[in-house]
Amino acid sequence: MSEYQGRAGAGEGETQPAIGVTELAACIDHTLLRPGATGVDIDRLCDEAKSYGFAAVCVNPVWVDRAVSRLAQSKVVVASVVGFPLGASRSEIKLAETQRALDDGAREIDMVINIGRLLEGDVGYVADEIKLLTAAAHRVGAITKVIIETALLTDDQKRVACELAVGAGADFVKTSTGFGGGGATVSDVALMRSVVGPTVGVKASGGIRTAADALNLLRAGATRLGTSAGPAIVTELSSGVR
């Protein structure tokens, strides 16, 4: 499907084009996944996403229908997380989570792979699970983002995870949950981009708090940024940060 939004970084030897405020905003998944989030918080998140022109809001499954309702008639889509944050649910449970989120109106699914299975080399299990969830999403025109939790993997394991996601038809690979002891890094994004090529999205997520962080990750090859600091980042860039 490969319907990712955003921009890839320039290739080696190419001049890096300027990234403006509008372009940056269109790459942001405005994210609120903390356990204490309330309905009022979700409403505020959605209103900010509309105001700033963000690509999506990313919320826990219980808030999908509320976010969809709040964002009706806007261009902002709703993303929800599956198997979050550990990735250790059974595949059939992840599928049920996916289907319910889709039924509630989510059109982007950020799924966590079974990290333990990957670490022990059970690549068939990981690939089959990604295929299962991606097929469910694609049936209704939704996309999948595969969270590989880079902080827990070696570079070779990151490459394998990205290859499995691409082979399973996923639309994005994503660095992190933000709950796994580490977040997005320029080196991880560059590595992931080198593996998935130009037609699959790369979402950087975890620890993105400044305009400089955001720009560096986009220039490394990210096409989406998952962050709870979107308004501050866009405001900072509009003030002249490059």
Is 31 in contact with 168 (CB distance < 8 Å)?
no
Neighbours of 15 (CB within 10 A): 6
Buried b (16+ CB within 10 A) or exposed e, 69-95: ebbeeeebbbbbbbbbeebebebeebb
Nearest alpha-carbon partner for 186 in 206, 200, 166: 206
Helix (H) or strand (E) holding 4: none
Give CA torsion, residues 113, 119, 122, 126, to 10 deg.
10
Residues forming the active site: 110, 174, 203
